[in-house]
């Protein structure tokens, strides 16, 4: 599902919501999950256990002139059901885009996973001129879900 300011993809994964959440809530696993190719490594992160946490990732991309860091501010947390964060260039406040993971159990060993990339709250006109949203495509988000399915089955 897409609109002008967000992309949402979904996939049913043959694993429990708890198993999937275990992978998603550990930022060091995000490198293997990233379908965009931007995430390089974790700079600072603990397992995500609630809103208000911040984890820092080492990134790379032409849109930022090469290597850079992001601070990811956890804005949504419901164990085994929801994980969301707003991303910002390291040391700054989030400018308005967020990542949301929603887990809907379909039985004990099957979970519908919805992954959303939403830039609808970006209002900084200079940023909007510099960055061409969306930076991540629907196909890259679908690849992320495929990588998540592989990571969970390999855990």
User: What pLDDT score does 69 carry?
Assistant: 93
**What tens digit of pLDDT does each residue of 37-74 get?**
999 999 988 999 999 999 999 999 887 788 999 999 99
Judge whether residue 3 has pLDDT over 70.
no
Concatenate the DSSP letters of all residues of 29-82 into one string: GHHHH-SSS-EEEEEE-----STT-EEEEEEEEGGGTEEEEEEEEEEEEETTTE
Give the whole-number percent of the chain exceeding pLDDT 90.
79
In this predicted structure, what is the pLDDT of residue 128?
Answer: 80
Confidence (pTM): 0.92
Average the pLDDT over 67-92 and give the result.
95
Give the pLDDT mean for 148-152. Answer: 96
Share the mean pLDDT of the chain: 92
Q: How far apart are CA 8 and CA 143, in angstroms?
A: 13
Mean pLDDT is lowest, of 13-22, 29-38, 71-80, for 29-38
| pLDDT in the model for residue 122 | 92
């Amino acid at each position: 599902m897409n609109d002008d300011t967000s992309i949402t993809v979904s996939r049913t994964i043959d694993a429990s919501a708890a198993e999937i959440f275990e992978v998603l809530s550990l930022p060091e696993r995000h490198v293997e999950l990233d379908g965009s190719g931007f995430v390089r490594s974790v700079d600072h992160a603990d397992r995500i256990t609630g809103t208000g946490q911040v984890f820092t990732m080492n990134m790379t991309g032409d849109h930022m002139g090469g290597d850079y860091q992001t601070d990811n501010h956890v804005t949504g947390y419901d164990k085994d059901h929801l994980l969301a964060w707003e991303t910002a260039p390291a040391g700054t406040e989030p400018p308005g885009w967020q990542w949301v993971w929603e887990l809907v159990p379909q039985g004990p060993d099957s979970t519908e996973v919805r992954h959303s990339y939403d830039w609808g709250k970006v209002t900084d006109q200079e940023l909007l001129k510099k960055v061409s949203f969306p930076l991540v495509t629907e196909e890259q988000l679908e690849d992320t879900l495929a990588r998540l399915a592989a990571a969970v089955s390999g855990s």
